[in-house]
Structures are given as C-alpha cells and as structure tokens.
C-alpha cells in the first residue's frame, strides 16, 4: 500500500540551482498539497491543488512552482534555490468525500541549499 510517495528523500543543492520534488499518490485523491517544515515550526502550506489542472498558492509560495497534469502527480519545482529553502518538504493528499479533513502525508524530502 504505497499511499503518498515522495522523491528524493534527501538532496543537497547549490544556491541558484533548480530541482523538482516529485510526489505521487495512488489513492485517487482530488486534493494534493505541499508543506514545508522548518526546525521547531509547524507545517506551512506552499501550494495546493483541488484537482488535475487546478493549483493555487498557500501561505509561503514564493520561490516555488507546481503543476497538476494528472490526478496522481503533483511535482514541486524550485527554480533558483536559496538557503532559506533549506527545509523538510511534505507532500500530502486528501479525498474529497468520506474522509473529512484527514490529510495523508508522504515521508518527507530533506532539502539543504548551500
């Protein structure tokens, strides 16, 4: 039972480099999310999507981009990596009906920008 799968698990980037964090879910969930967690802080919403072809900004979208071409995939793009983007990134998904507000998280991607 895969659930929400994120890759890579760990990555070190140099300032100015770009990369994409991949996220896929096999639960046919409509809603998908990207959160970041900084040390000692709660989870902050970066971007979310309510369905294929629809994305919107969360609390901290600057420096990131997303796309949602399929129900399953929700990649997060960092175009010009900055040290402030050093964080743990969590992808999550949620069913539109039945499960209320329960959000299911991936295992996280640890990103360091040096």
Smallest gap from residue 85 Cβ to other proteins (A): 19
User: Which residues pair with residue 10 across a beta bridge?
Assistant: 110
* Of 23, 60, 90, 113, the one binding other proteins by CB under 8 A: 90
Neighbours of 13 (CB within 10 A): 18
End-to-end CA distance of the chain: 35
* Of 29, 46, 71, 106, the one binding other proteins by CB under 8 A: 106
- 101 scored as a contact of other proteins (CB under 8 A): yes
Choices 16-24, 69-77, 78-86, 94-102; region in contact with other proteins by CB under 8 A: 94-102
Among 19, 16, 17, which Cα is nearest to 8's?
19
DSSP string for 31-69: EEEEEEE-TT--EEEEEEEEETTEEEE-S--TTEEE--S
By the 8 A CB rule, do 27 and 104 touch?
Answer: yes
The footprint of other proteins on residues 30-59 (CB under 8 A) is: 31, 35, 40-45, 48, 50, 58
- 66 scored as a contact of other proteins (CB under 8 A): no
Question: Which residues would be at the binding site for other proteins (CB under 8 A)?
Answer: 4, 31, 35, 40-45, 48, 50, 58, 90, 92, 94, 100-108
């Amino acid at each position: 039972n895969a659930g929400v799968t994120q890759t890579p698990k760990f990555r070190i980037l140099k300032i100015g480099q770009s990369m994409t964090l991949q996220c896929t879910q096999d639960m046919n969930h409509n809603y998908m999310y990207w959160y970041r967690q900084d040390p000692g802080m709660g989870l902050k919403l970066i971007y979310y999507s309510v369905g294929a072809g629809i994305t919107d900004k969360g609390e901290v979208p600057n420096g990131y981009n997303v796309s949602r071409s399929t129900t399953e995939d929700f990649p997060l793009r960092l175009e010009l990596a900055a040290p402030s983007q050093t964080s743990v990134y969590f992808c999550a998904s949620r069913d539109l009906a039945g499960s209320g507000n329960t959000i299911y998280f991936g295992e996280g991607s640890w990103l360091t920008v040096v």
